[in-house]
Amino acid sequence: MREWGRIGCIGFGGPPTHIKLLRDLCVERKGWLDAREFEDAIAACNLLPGPASTQLAIFCGWRVRGRLGAVMGGAAFILPGLLVILALAALFLSGTPSRWVIGSGAGAGAAVPAVAVQAGTTLLIASRRNLSRTAAQTRWLVYLVAGGAAAATVGPWLVVVLLGGGTVELATQSAQRDDGKIRSLAAVSLLATSAAGGGVLLPLSWVALKVGALAYGGGFVIIPLMQADTVDHYHWMSGADFLHAVALGQVTPGPVTHTVAVVGYAAAGLGGGLLASTVAFAPSFAFILLGARHFDRLRGNWRARAFLDGAGPAAIGAILGSAIPLAGAISLPWQYAVLAGAAVVLLLLRQSAVVTLIAAGAVGAIIAVAGGPLPT
């Protein structure tokens, strides 16, 4: 599993980088999978909730060494980035960080809303291309707007909007297939989000579970799923600290889902970070261990695709909508200037989000060292 660990260490840049590295290893160099099987695995993982590139890494491990390979490969892929981000969380969330640390976090955090818009826009274009019929386009727009509005206003209930979009689309396509006869749908029961009787660990586990089991539409959708709970509802972090967490999740290797470790650290220290990560990644392991042999059927399952046809655009809208409260956490004039610069670099010049965040952090550190104002 050394190769999975290597990918976990050098996998900067999100899912496109992870997929390329896994393909180079499993298809080109070792020949463990043929090209068609690898492409089918990508398609199947994209139909599952949660971090698709992590699920692909687990699947490749399963394909090579069975269940043990899945567990060991997935752990090797996840752990390097997790260790790095927990160390950075300790640095940024310590009681008395130095000025340059605060400044670099404030600078990188200021660029995060632009990263959200870039991520949402990229997914938006790809999703829009898959539509052909006018009725489908109208529903797609409704799901998109609903997800954006929910992320911007009623964040803790975003998961209901995502599930609702998928359920409505599944019912609609079922009705079309059955000439008006709508099939019965299994009800989805949501865990209680109340902290009563569970201290901080119960709500933290729920937030992490939403990240791992109910996130559709790409890694960045975890941000609106966590934001309102973390900042407004449970008050584990300030808005500025949450921006730091998102930036750390982007600039460290491995999946963006590592952001949840920073949230867990803020809520309950190192144990909270480990708990949140374990809960968030557990569904990915379960999906592969229990369902990998059924991937061919999943890829051809119209019900899975129909659900994603509704949940997907709602998730994209949520990513775009999350930019509003993220920008609301910015408080200083120089941070707005950094945000404007990041928007130009990301949206017009189409540069890397990782490089942009590192540059924004460097600007913030320089301003801090020079004696400029810092967020309180």
Q: What is the mean pLDDT of each run of 10 residues along the chain (376 residues)?
A: 90 86 93 88 86 93 94 96 95 86 94 92 81 78 93 83 91 77 40 50 93 80 89 91 92 92 95 96 95 80 86 90 92 96 95 92 96 90
How many distinct structural domains can be found in the chain?
A: 1
Burial of residue 370 (number of CB atoms within 10 Å: 0-12, 13-18, 19+) = exposed
Alpha carbons 168 and 327: distance in angstroms, whole number: 31
pLDDT at 300: 75
Residue 372 in tokens? 């400029």
pLDDT at 193: 38
pLDDT at 136: 83
pLDDT at 190: 39
Within-domain flag for 208: yes
Within-domain flag for 326: yes
pLDDT at 129: 75
Let me know the angle formed at the C-alpha of 177 by 175 and 182, rounded to the nearest 5 degrees: 25
**Nearest residue to 68 (alpha-carbon basis) of 149, 115, 1, 166:** 1
Full residue range of the structural domain in which residue 87 is found: 2-369
Within-domain flag for 376: no
Burial of residue 186 (number of CB atoms within 10 Å: 0-12, 13-18, 19+) = exposed
pLDDT at 197: 41
Within-domain flag for 375: no
pLDDT at 297: 79
pLDDT at 196: 39
- Position 74: which residue type? G
Question: Torsion over CA of 30, 34, 35 and 38, rounded to 10 degrees?
Answer: -90
Alpha carbons 111 and 106: distance in angstroms, whole number: 9
pLDDT at 301: 82
pLDDT at 194: 40
Helices (H), 130-157: 134-153
pLDDT at 137: 86
pLDDT at 17: 86
Alpha carbons 298 and 305: distance in angstroms, whole number: 9
Within-domain flag for 207: yes
Beta carbons of 298 and 44 less than 8 angstroms apart: yes
Within-domain flag for 274: yes
Within-domain flag for 232: yes
